[in-house]
Chains A and B, each alone.
Chain A
Amino acid sequence: MHRILDKNKPLCPQICEHICLDVAFGELKPNERIKSVREAAVAVGVNPNTMQRSYETLEQEGILYSVRGSGWFVSENVEKAKLTLDKLRREKTKVFFNEMENLGMTAEELKHYIKEWNND
């Protein structure tokens, strides 16, 4: 979780997203114990309440689970997190496509660019 938060948007969804990505990429392993709310809050530099809310949201989504007295863990079901990753990828790609369209780029040209970019 070393990504920078955008202060122009609510922080809680951003933190959730970051944790999701960490899970999806396997940086956080299933059943791994993650930082306590306070530790994570200090590390990211946000309010513990915000961190608490983020963890709770992720728990509802089934990405994290909490064990009373011992803390927060990554859920075994990583698919949820991967779904979020996929959703995010699609969203960003759509934004990208829209922008390219505005620049007058066709799908053929785009493929060309991608090829060029891969060769570099």
Chain B
Amino acid sequence: MCNKLYKHEMLSYLRKWLPIEIIILCVALLGRFVQFFEADTNAYNVIFGSTMFFYGTAIVVSFVLTFVVCIKRFHNNLFTGEGYLTFTLPVTPAQHILIKACAAVTVTISTLIIAVLSVFVLTAGEVAAEIFKAAAYILKEFFEVCNAHAILYIAEFLILLILSVFSGMLLIYACIALGQTFNRSRVGWAVAIYFIYYFIGRIITTILTTVLSLSYDSIPFEKIGRFIEQNPFGSVHIFFGASIIFTFIGCALFYLITHFVIKKKLNLE
């Protein structure tokens, strides 16, 4: 059942998301094409400059649009007219939420990959070769310095990246779901809840930093410094590990909220 859900999620994304990505690649191609006419003239500089500006804007827009498409898919497919069909499928709420999140993460990560790919399209030729060389050199150094830790770091980084995207999506899902518990202007409430969450987060951070700076003397900076010095590789693992755990807790919390609302409080309009 999950693979069918995923298939239909992706089919619906392809319709709206694929054109965005094709446009990105086309703009990158255009940018590369312009470079064939390189000349030290004002006209060329203006054209090249505006192409680059256009490309940069397109990349930003593609991320924003992808994000919007993901959010809209969740909201429309569950909580508008389409929800009548979605919620009468023999599928559990957990499957709905998780598969929707997985598909959204797939799309977001793909957007990221295509953005990187477009850089290579834009710079295809000598410049791209240089970038490859530089990247290879950095990687080589990285592996030499970190040895066995290198692979772990990359893995930890990728896990953190994916989890962060999940957490971002699930946060939005939770806000949308909580908005549904209201009788009126449910989308408005979802947005409000997002900002309330954001401000509470800000307040807590501010309080924490204030507390920390007030208790400056009691923090054993020296000990921490010494630990990092003695375990340089271990400290990075601890940093990644802690980040992963926190992000995961966030994911779990947002998921549970969404699940609770859909399972116990569903009231389609």
A adjacent to B, CB under 8 Å: no
